[in-house]
Amino acid sequence: MHVDWVIPCRYCEVNGNMVTIVGGNIDRIMVPAVPAPDPLRVLCGVRVVADHSEVDAEQTPEPPHRMSTRVYGPSMDLVNEMQEPFGLVGDFPPYIQPAVVMPIAVIFRPEAEGQHTIEVAVDDRGRSAPLSIVVAPPSED
């Protein structure tokens, strides 16, 4: 099982395993200062692909896999990490590769200006996307 793609965006929703993305592939967010006064919430459209042997027929009390979201700062220091159990449940015909598309919110507080990296992984097999944090110029009042 692995993450096939990650697309940072302004909004996404999933209906029938089809994703609608608005503002896809955002790669820059302006903040008033660093460290940022408030945490940022970046929504990502994510597709997870599995082998048929990795799909459970029924929901299990403890899913067998682990989904992780990580954010790395400009010097590749770990800024934030969240993990939770993850499993794929369903009945997929043998000619269809098991996959699920979902929105995932990544929340972190930028400590520095520059390029950050968002990574989403299942069992440490993932994909990443760059995200630049830029301090907004002072407003002219």
Predicted confidence band of residue 79 (pLDDT cuts 50, 70, 90): very high
How many independent structural domains does the chain possess?
1
Q: Which domain holds residue 51?
A: 2-135
For the cut 70, the answer to whether the pLDDT of residue 141 exceeds it is no
- Integer angstrom CA distances of residue 92 from 53, 88, 119: 11, 11, 27
Residue 99 pairs in a beta bridge with 49
pLDDT of residue 138: 82
Q: Flag whether 118 is in a domain.
A: yes
Residue at 140 is within a domain: no
Mean pLDDT for the chain overall: 94
- Residue-wise burial string across 18-57, b where 16 or more C-beta atoms lie within 10 A, e elsewhere: ebebeeeebeebebeeeebeeebebbbbbbbbbeeebbee
Question: How remote is the C-alpha of 112 from its chain's centroid?
Answer: 20
pLDDT of residue 125 exceeding 70, the answer is yes
CATH number for the domain spanning 85: value is 2.60.40.1930
pLDDT given at position 88: 93
User: Order of strands across the sheet with 99-108?
Assistant: 2-9, 40-49, 99-108
Is 102 within the bounds of a domain? yes
